[in-house]
Chains A and B, each alone.
Chain A
Amino acid sequence: MLRILLNALRTGVVTTHYPEEPSVPPERFRGAPVLRAGSALPPPAVCPAGALSEHRDDGHRRVNLDIARCMFCGRCAEEPWTGAVTMGREFELAARTRSDLQIEVAADEAEVAAIGPARDPQAATAYAASEIRRVLGRSLHLRHLDAGSCNACDWELTALLNPVYDVRRLGIDFVASPRHADGVMVTGPVTRNLETAVRRTVEAVPEPRIVIAVGACAASGGIVGEGYASAGGVDKVLPVDVYIPGCPPRPEAIIFGILVALGRLDARRLPQGVTGRHRD
């Protein structure tokens, strides 16, 4: 027992300060692709997940990238398209609608890099804490719901509870029952064999509830797509409040997505005439 205590003291505090302080991913990290205007933009067939598409508009070739579908594999940024596409390091990509996750570039337009909602310039931690307290009392309780994931997104949700990310410091926790939850984090494209369980689990979460689609499969079907065994994304089955791109999204990208979702919860409550003031 004493040894355990000594070991714990020797280890010290390993917890990150994100989102209070920004997180800088390592140099090789593949974040949101940056499409540079130019005729050398890759054809849609290059993307194994089908995230690229193109159309002609007034004689211009316009290339569209669906970040919700992107696996961040970097294939479109390899030879011979290295000049046209580079993998950025932006990972805070969560958005409230699928259309916020579309990047479109024409052959003769300026570079497009910024996507997703802008990061709150205020200290995000304080914002999260105040929102959680204002809307939910003291804490945000989430339920994980695996809708057919490859388990990578699940492992990243587990990582949120490890000593490094420790989301409980932000008032966020994962609970065992949907009845105890304010929202669900859904991973996977919603398989045929889970569709009923997914619907029933979400319906068991008391209103108002938030539904967060975590990762490319949940956000869009990803590389699994739609087929005999897959619905092709959570929003084919249920309304989704926030989409978190990534394959899988790194833990901090998920934290960012939860912060985006908190704003959404507020927005959904207002029409019901609830002001959201709770006792301290």
Chain B
Amino acid sequence: MADSNLIDALRSVAAGSVDTEPGPRLADITLRLERASDLRALAAALIAQHSMALATIVATDERATPAGDLKVRYVFEPTSAGAPDRFLTCLVCVDANDAQLPSLTTVIPAANWHEREMRDLFGIVPVGHPDPRALVVHDGWPQGNFPLRKDFDGSRRLPVESAEEFPHLVAEGEGVFEIPVGPIHAGIIEPGHFRFSSVGETVLHLDARLFYTHRGLEKRMEGRSPLDAFYVVERICGACSVAHALGYCEALEQIAGVDAPPRSRLIRGIALELERLYNHVGDIGNVCAGAAFHYGTATGARLKERLQQVNEQLSGNRFLRGLVFPGGVRLDLPVGLLGVLTSTLEDTLAGLNSLMGRIESNPSVVDRFDGTGMLTHKAALDLAVAGVAARASGVNRDARRDHPHGAFASPDAPALHVVTLADGDAMARVRVRHLEAQESIRLIGEFVRRLEPGPLRFALPEPLPGGRIGISAIESARGEAVHWLRTDALGRVDRYHLRSPSYHNWPAVALAAETAIVPDFPLVNKSFELCYSCTDR
């Protein structure tokens, strides 16, 4: 059996010092590592020999439990085609008085930000990490305060201490210029600081500094009832409102032992595809802005606006907030509204195809998109890049197929056509969005056809079972988001962690920018179209 082979192989890597148990879900495996020193070899084996990828890293403060320590869970997922829906968790205990672990970043580049975040928020030092700079907490944060430790009072605002200027990673040499951009940008976009090192127009290096919008949302949810905390998750990110709400609900429903009713799953599926659709359509338009093709920008914005007006008709909110709810959905989609939806989708499809025709037949636009912002297949794998960016670099992964959720979890779910292209440039990312938007329209039609009368929502037990873990992976418009939720003894939120697709994709933007010239950066950036807010939380 594949399972026992895998476990035996991992045992041999760790010289026998691992315990295995199922969980968090039945099909998942949790490995308890006795020695943290085995971590690097184990992680390397998982990536190289078992084609797994890093899904997320979750630290928890368990000093108040009998174990009295901090714990870190390294969650991996299979990437090979046809692999089962499974997460493999490597659990390591950390002594709170000497909080350090070997860094995995040189083995798994995707672990980079996870480990820096863990150092900032838990005080767990990744020994051997190549980047000693703070990530989540910025200049002036008082040393020795770790917000996600349980004894830190999250409601307290700490004084700003005097600080040295942040040490940006820059290239040096004759004729090398530094171009600082942000955190406040010229357009209506989210805040981040980009430090370009350039020679003439050519970008030598880009150092992106994010987490300006870090709001402490994970801390804010702790100790609250999971139903109250749901409204926070739904508001982590505007563009991913449905996807994040759904991911949290699926994790919560695992803990509660409740399956959402079939009709609600289809409605969740419709909402998720509608969210993907309005984002993809708008994003295609916005990439045109990077090439000064204003007809494209205006057309994309017009098509997106129409879809957002339908969102408001369906859910009462232009970002579809208020539709997905723990246990099912809060609103039904009656026949009248489905008719409005169907006719809008027909118009959207025609409008989008026409827009793509104008883009692809316009040499000055194609010239800007072609070969711009290259992301190689290997870099996409190393950084565990998600979503459109991954699939446009030939990575055949989609959480809707690999971790079925919402409407895709039903036995009679329609087959999903995962779109991949090999080119890895801005044009490929635009084309993937176009093909995926077509697929979303087809899927919504399939879901609508499958709707049968039935209950919309099952009540969750109150209080929820204590000390349980739920995990889910949702394909948002940006890519796979991994949600990890655990309840405390009283059934309240003990720890929630979101690894958004943008979290893994931002370092890829910096890499892709290094293949471009400075004036193309807005185009490169928009072709990835990542969220800052669900990266920073």
Given A154-B188, A177-B186, residue A227 in contact with residue B155 (CB < 8 A) = yes
| CB < 8 Å neighbour of B216 from A25, A71, A72, A228 | A228
Task: Determine if A124 is an interface residue (Cβ-Cβ < 8 Å).
Answer: no
Task: Determine if B194 is an interface residue (Cβ-Cβ < 8 Å).
Answer: no
Per-position 1/0 for B316-342, Cβ under 8 A of A: 111101100000000100000000000
Residues in A neighbouring B301, C-beta threshold 8 A:
158-159, 161-163
| CB < 8 Å neighbour of B322 from A30, A149, A158, A193 | A30
Residues in B neighbouring A194, C-beta threshold 8 A:
183, 191, 212-213
Q: Which residue of A has the minimal Cβ distance to B318?
A: A250
Number of interface residues of A (CB under 8 A): 65
* A30–B138 CA distance with the chains assembled, in angstroms: 37
Q: Are A247 and B315 in contact (CB under 8 A)?
A: no
Per-position 1/0 for A227-260, Cβ under 8 A of B: 1111100000000000000011010000000000
Q: Which residue of B has the minimal Cβ distance to A11?
A: B302
Residues in A neighbouring B312, C-beta threshold 8 A:
25-26, 28-29, 250
Interface residues on B, range: 35 or more
Q: Which residue of A has the minimal Cβ distance to B216?
A: A229
Q: Are B186 and A150 in contact (CB under 8 A)?
A: no
Q: Which residue of B has the minimal Cβ distance to A221?
A: B215
Residues in A neighbouring B305, C-beta threshold 8 A:
159, 162-165
Residues in A neighbouring B191, C-beta threshold 8 A:
146, 148, 194, 197
Residues in A neighbouring B308, C-beta threshold 8 A:
159
* A3–B299 CA distance with the chains assembled, in angstroms: 13
Q: Are B235 and A71 in contact (CB under 8 A)?
A: yes
Of residues 160 to 179 in A, which have CB atoms within 8 Å of B's CB atoms? 161-165, 174, 176-177
Q: Which residue of A has the minimal Cβ distance to B358?
A: A4
Given A28-B331, A153-B238, residue A14 in contact with residue B358 (CB < 8 A) = no
* A222–B158 CA distance with the chains assembled, in angstroms: 20
Task: Determine if B21 is an interface residue (Cβ-Cβ < 8 Å).
Answer: no
Task: Determine if A122 is an interface residue (Cβ-Cβ < 8 Å).
Answer: no
Q: Are A164 and B302 in contact (CB under 8 A)?
A: yes
* A8–B531 CA distance with the chains assembled, in angstroms: 31
* A199–B187 CA distance with the chains assembled, in angstroms: 18
Task: Determine if B184 is an interface residue (Cβ-Cβ < 8 Å).
Answer: yes
Residues in A neighbouring B220, C-beta threshold 8 A:
224-225, 227
Given A30-B316, A149-B533, A223-B231, residue A189 in contact with residue B186 (CB < 8 A) = no
| CB < 8 Å neighbour of A192 from B157, B231, B317 | B157
Task: Determine if B237 is an interface residue (Cβ-Cβ < 8 Å).
Answer: yes
Question: Shortest distance in angstroms between A68's beta carbon and chain B's nearest beta carbon?
Answer: 15
| CB < 8 Å neighbour of B533 from A72, A150, A162, A247 | A150
* A250–B155 CA distance with the chains assembled, in angstroms: 30
Q: Are A224 and B215 in contact (CB under 8 A)?
A: yes
Q: Which residue of B has the minimal Cβ distance to A165?
A: B305
Q: Are A151 and B532 in contact (CB under 8 A)?
A: yes
Question: Shortest distance in angstroms between A189's beta carbon and chain B's nearest beta carbon?
Answer: 7
Question: Shortest distance in angstroms between A164's beta carbon and chain B's nearest beta carbon?
Answer: 5
Q: Are A229 and B214 in contact (CB under 8 A)?
A: yes
Given A14-B302, A73-B321, A159-B308, residue A176 in contact with residue B187 (CB < 8 A) = yes
Question: Shortest distance in angstroms between A93's beta carbon and chain B's nearest beta carbon?
Answer: 15
Q: Select the residue from A3, A11, A154, A176 with max chain B CB neighbours within 10 A.
A: A154
Residues in B neighbouring A42, C-beta threshold 8 A:
none
* A106–B406 CA distance with the chains assembled, in angstroms: 43
Task: Determine if B228 is an interface residue (Cβ-Cβ < 8 Å).
Answer: yes
Question: Shortest distance in angstroms between B85's beta carbon and chain A's nearest beta carbon?
Answer: 29
Given A29-B316, A189-B215, A248-B319, residue A150 in contact with residue B235 (CB < 8 A) = yes
* A61–B357 CA distance with the chains assembled, in angstroms: 63
* A71–B235 CA distance with the chains assembled, in angstroms: 10
Task: Determine if B219 is an interface residue (Cβ-Cβ < 8 Å).
Answer: yes
Q: Are B238 and A228 in contact (CB under 8 A)?
A: no
Task: Determine if B232 is an interface residue (Cβ-Cβ < 8 Å).
Answer: yes
Q: Are A151 and B232 in contact (CB under 8 A)?
A: no
Given A162-B302, A194-B212, A201-B184, residue A228 in contact with residue B147 (CB < 8 A) = yes
Q: Are A228 and B321 in contact (CB under 8 A)?
A: no
| CB < 8 Å neighbour of A224 from B217, B299, B319, B322 | B217
Residues in A neighbouring B184, C-beta threshold 8 A:
145-146, 197, 201
Q: Are B313 and A26 in contact (CB under 8 A)?
A: yes
Ordered by A's residue number, 9 sampled pairs between the chains whose C-beta atoms are within 8 Å are A29-B312, A75-B231, A151-B531, A154-B190, A162-B305, A163-B302, A194-B183, A227-B156, A228-B147
- The chain A residues found within 8 Å of chain B, CB to CB, are 3-4, 7-8, 11, 14, 25-30, 48-49, 71-75, 87, 144-146, 148-159, 161-165, 174, 176-177, 188-189, 191-195, 197, 201, 222-231, 247-248, 250
- The chain B residues found within 8 Å of chain A, CB to CB, are 137-138, 141, 147, 152-158, 160, 183-184, 186-191, 211-217, 219-220, 228, 230-232, 235-239, 241, 295, 298-299, 301-302, 304-305, 308-309, 312-319, 321-322, 331, 354, 357-358, 361, 531-533, 536
